Amino acid sequence: MANVQIIVGSVMGTALEVARTIEAVLEGYGHHVALNPAFQAGDLGDDPDQLLIICTSNTGMGDLPENIQPFHQHLVNDIPQVVDRRYVIVNLGDSSYPQFAQAGQTIDEALADIGAKRISTPLVIDAMEVDDHEDVAASWATELNEII
């Protein structure tokens, strides 16, 4: 079974609820999952096989939520050893805004720039199209289980 860390960026709590849903589904399949809504620099750990799931909403004009900014700063400034570390992105946004889903793209680019490997297309949950975020997340986590 996989070792998974879910790093969360949330303003109003929706991304955190989505992350909790993903956590519950993956734990149901026997994976070890750590939910991290308050990232600190040492939290990436030394396990190169640990899968990172970044679950973030967007704020303002596609900005990163405050609680995930330290993660992004760590990636950009400290350049942690994450070459070939597997990751996936869950990006919550609202397509009525011009910078739709920018926060997830920002994290995705930062991880790719330092050699991490995204293992699937990002899940983008659009508030304009999706009423039940948790249901979408649960279905996605079930599919993710097949590739981890």
* pLDDT tens-digit map of 64-101: 999 999 999 999 999 998 999 999 999 999 998 888 99
Count structural domains, the chain. 1
Q: Cα(58)–Cα(60) distance, rounded to whole angstroms?
A: 7
Question: Bridge-partner residues for 83, per DSSP?
Answer: none
| Residue 52: per-residue pLDDT | 98
In a domain, 118, yes or no: yes
CA distance 58 to 49: 28
- Tell me the pLDDT tens digit for each residue of 2-16: 999 999 999 999 999
Average pLDDT of span 117-126: 97
Structure tokens given for 91:
């990006």
How far is C-alpha 91 from the geometric centre of its chain's CA atoms?
A: 7
Residue 116's domain is classified under what CATH number? 3.40.50.360
Please report whether residue 112 resides in a domain.
yes
Cβ atoms of 125 and 82 within 8 Å: the answer is no
Q: Using an 8 Å Cβ cutoff, are 114 and 80 in contact?
A: yes
pLDDT digits (tens, 9 = 90+) for 17-69: 999 999 999 999 999 999 999 998 788 888 899 999 999 999 988 899 999 99
Within-domain flag for 92: yes
pLDDT confidence tier of residue 119, bands split at 50, 70 and 90: very high
> Is residue 83 assigned to a domain?
yes
H helices, E strands: number in the chain: 4, 6
pTM over 0.85: yes
Q: Is residue 84 part of a domain?
A: yes
Q: Does residue 141 lie within any of the structural domains?
A: no
Tell me if 142 is assigned to some domain: no
Range of the domain at 29: 3-47+54-132
